Structure 1
Amino acid sequence: MLVRVFEADTMTAALKKVKEALGPDALILSTRTVRKNGLGMFRKPICEITAAIDDPAEAGRAAGTPQPESPGGPQAAVPPVNLATRADAEAPEDTLTYQDLWRQRRVIDPLEEEVRELKQQVNGNGLAAVRSEIDELKAMLSQLARTHVPAETASPAAPVDIPRPASRSGAEVQEMALLQGTLARLGISGEAAAQLEQFAWEQLSPRQLADPQRIEEFLAGAVAQLIRVTGPLQSRPGRQRCIALVGPTGVGKTTTIAKIAAGQRMAGLQRIALLTIDTYRIAAVEQLKVYGEIMGLPVEVILNPEQLQQALLRHADKDLILIDTAGRSPRDEASLAELELFLGPERGTENCLVLSATTRDLELRETVRRFGRLPLHSLIFTKLDECEQCGTLLNIAVQQRLPLSFLTNGQRVPEDLLVAEPGAIAQFITGAQ
């Protein structure tokens, strides 16, 4: 087989060259448009065709090359090697043999297959799954370490979570079936589910474990015990509170800022200022300014960390400063590093991570981990009105050891803002509200 590359200004001209050189029986292997001679996008593109023919003698006859007769008669064909050699001499850069292409593919094909497999692993969130498993292993090791602390040295403030026994009998597992099914229905899993099962095993009798109503009553109280909250947002005399809301895009940070500000105004707090460093989203500044005008609060736009420091000094007389930020992808390390310049530890802000309750636990854990480069003060969950299950509130709060400060369950300002309170959160999670 003879393989050659042809170039021309147009596809028609290139095909004509193929026909003249290899004849009408030539096989077109590939076509593409290329630019050469280092002129890049300013050079006119040319058409390149890679073509082949099985019998090199046919290419010679198509090009008008005289075919010498062999001693055997006029029908004897010229040996293919002579034509291939002549073609190489005429166009050494454009001529490839089938053997050359085969040797190249034997090397390239395995490499391409490995690259495809790596891309599939990355696109399938393989790295996130591995990190999640590592986090779970760390939590298990932490629990095991606590069980080996002598009773006389244990801290009274130590967490009450105790790991489940390593094994249970078949009858014991059957007794826990109703509780485990209820936890799965509520979306409670992982470390939180393990702690609730241990509480139930210690506090409930086998008969109570088989009673659905007793299980619901138990969960309402046990979930409230596991939830940590920051308490109501109250101004402290002589000390300003500066709260910044951070988080992924689309979780409702700006609306939540407005709800918090409106709620504080209704509670009698007058000296409030609104700052925004969200200069990326269209109309974000205008949206916050509208809320500020309605509530009679000053609104400032911040472009860099120096301006933020100056704005905090200007509003040193305010009791509460609320800072809105642009949504950042948890996987955008550059954006998170920029956000850290605004709200790093030296700034002294209370950074609240805003999360959507409709997001899967795996993505929520990864979001908390990546935003953890900031000093996080608490979690705010939004869109509870869009959830069928609210167990994720407990799952993330227990695993990440972060308190909850606010919940939102609608778009109304400020009605759909709830101060995080253990009993109310337990009702959301267990469906008792």
Structure 2
Amino acid sequence: MKVKRYVVNALPEALPMIRNELGVDAIILNTKEIRVGGFLGMFGKKKTEVIAAVEAGGGGGTAVKPAARPQPVPAAAKPAVSAVTPEAIASIASLASSAIAERQSAMQQPAKQAAAALLKLEATEMELPPLNSAAAYEARTGVKAPPASASLKPRMSEDDLLDEIRDMKQWIMRMSKQQQLQARPEALQSLYDRLLDQEVSQALADKLLEQVELKLEESDLLDQQSGAIDRADVWRFAEQTLLDWLKGLDAGVIGSDTQVIHFVGPTGVGKTTSIAKLAAEQTLKSGRKVGFITSDTYRIAAVDQLRTYATILNVPLEVVFSPSEVARAFKQLEDRELIFMDTAGRNFRNELYVSEVNSLLQTNKRAETFLVLSLTGKFKDMSMVAENFAKYGIDRVLYTKQDETNANGAILNLAMEHGLRPTYIAYGQTVPDDIAPFKASSYVSQLLGAAQ
């Protein structure tokens, strides 16, 4: 007896294939609806599986004879088995039924068990050799390979299999993350929400919570049964962790031996106003002789703005239009103890502008460079600007407009991701009052807020 399995869209599609390959004496042993492809039993295409057979040497007739169940053949009348034995048919049917059952039950299993079931299922499907050649076809069915137009579709390619496994992995990760969020104690979830509200990057927020949970477990403050945690303990450990992260990043105030301070940064971040605040601080509080240099000749009235501050503070001002004039300006101010140099704000996401302004910062004096950034800007843009300036060794930042935003997470993000050290925080336009040196303890308290 010769047995053949067909997978078609509908039963009528299989009849001419059976007639051509097995002859008109073939009978249909079984038909059932199956699903092919998909992910974890979902989104599969509906197909019809048809199993047909013909006795060896059978022929003649005019049509395929469907039968719901094959009649048993007496042992004495059993013909010789040619290509596929009934035992093999039973084994294939059992294997297919088992595979389909595993696929249907995979959705009801936990994430890890679902992954194992899917991999086992794919391995089972790959045990049978694919019908990708005439020799393999004849070895499987015992009949001559049909024309190419009538051949079965090839099995799932390696790329498709990898895509399914990749999708499954992403699904498992999402399920795992949802379970973690549901199991997270309320105090830790509140801390996590606070960090995200302050626009701390998700990676840093996750890292902070991991370290806080570890400290809670080491201190036996985490109730394993009820999951109850004291909110004050969570905030205390978070504060300790953040202070450890920021240790050594405090840039401090302007050094007494500093002779030149350059100010660079994008347009509209408040460089000129910050210069006036720091110049007033150094003149009125430290008693140092201060001078101004500006190369901001692009913005309308930029020179006039700085000249107004210079007149109020009674300090000299020099204007330069090119890098070649910088030496002349320093010569004119050689009697000054501290010189503040303002530069034009440009689109410093463009590295060309960064290299251009960097040519103005070359001096033989003891100099520092402050990158001025506004806390109201987008972190992605701030990060790109910081990355371009970091190539030239600039790692000190003066943050402005803290009073215009409630989110201060960008300071932590830039410090941890780019190593930028905060110097001053400006929080208003009043000269010289609305500016203060950066203090990690004050910043962390502001970032976390009150525990209750």
Q: With structure 1 as the length reference, what TM-score do the two structures score?
A: 0.56
The 3 A distance-change label for structure 1 pair 408 and 185 is: same
Q: Secondary structure at the match of 1:249?
A: coil
Which residue pairs with 1:188 in the alignment? 200
Which residue pairs with 1:212 in the alignment? 231
8 Å Cα contact 1:351-1:375 kept in structure 2: no
Which residue pairs with 2:316 in the alignment? 298
Which residue pairs with 2:113 in the alignment? none
Per-residue CA deviations over 1:214-260 (Å, capped at 9, x if unaligned) read 32333334333322211122312xxx431111111010000000011
Q: Residue 250 of structure 2 aligns to which amino acid in structure 1?
A: V
Shift of the alpha carbon at 1:191?
Answer: 4.6
Shift of the alpha carbon at 1:367?
Answer: 1.4
- 1:417 paired with 2:435, answer yes
| Total equivalences in the alignment | 265
8 Å Cα contact 2:292-2:318 kept in structure 1: yes
Aligned equivalents of 1:219, 1:345: Cα separation in 2: 43
Shift of the alpha carbon at 1:412?
Answer: 0.6
Q: Secondary structure at the match of 2:184?
A: helix
Shift of the alpha carbon at 1:287?
Answer: 0.6
Which residue pairs with 1:177 in the alignment? 189
For the aligned residue pairs, the C-alpha RMSD in angstroms reads 2.9
- 1:230 paired with 2:240, answer no
Which residue pairs with 1:151 in the alignment? none
Percent of pairs identical after alignment? Answer: 30
Equivalent residue for 1:269, pick from 287, 293, 303? 287
Q: Residue 174 of structure 1 aligns to which amino acid in structure 2?
A: R
- Higher mean C-alpha deviation, range 289-298 or range 221-230: 221-230
Aligned equivalents of 2:393, 2:356: Cα separation in 1: 14
Which structure's relative contact order is higher, taking Cα pairs within 8 Å and 6+ residues apart? 1
1:380-399 equivalences in 2 (<5 Å): 380-399=398-417
Rg comparison, structure with higher value: 2
Q: Residue 230 of structure 1 aligns to which amino acid in structure 2?
A: A
Equivalent residue for 1:353, pick from 367, 371, 379? 371
Per-residue CA deviations over 1:179-219 (Å, capped at 9, x if unaligned) read 32332233222453244224313322325983333323333
Shift of the alpha carbon at 1:303?
Answer: 1.4
8 Å Cα contact 1:344-1:375 kept in structure 2: no
Shift of the alpha carbon at 1:307?
Answer: 1.6
Q: Secondary structure at the match of 1:184?
A: helix
1:130-145 equivalences in 2 (<5 Å): none
The 3 A distance-change label for structure 1 pair 333 and 401 is: closer
Shift of the alpha carbon at 1:410?
Answer: 0.7
Aligned equivalents of 2:348, 2:181: Cα separation in 1: 45
Aligned equivalents of 1:234, 1:347: Cα separation in 2: 13
Per-residue CA deviations over 1:66-119 (Å, capped at 9, x if unaligned) read xxxxxxxxxxxxxxxxxxxxxxxxxxxxxxxxxxxxxxxxxxxxxxxxxxxxxx
Q: With structure 2 as the length reference, what TM-score do the two structures score?
A: 0.53
- Which structure 2 residue ranges, 5 or more long, are not aligned? 1-175
Q: Secondary structure at the match of 1:206?
A: coil
Shift of the alpha carbon at 1:333?
Answer: 4.0
Q: Secondary structure at the match of 2:268?
A: coil
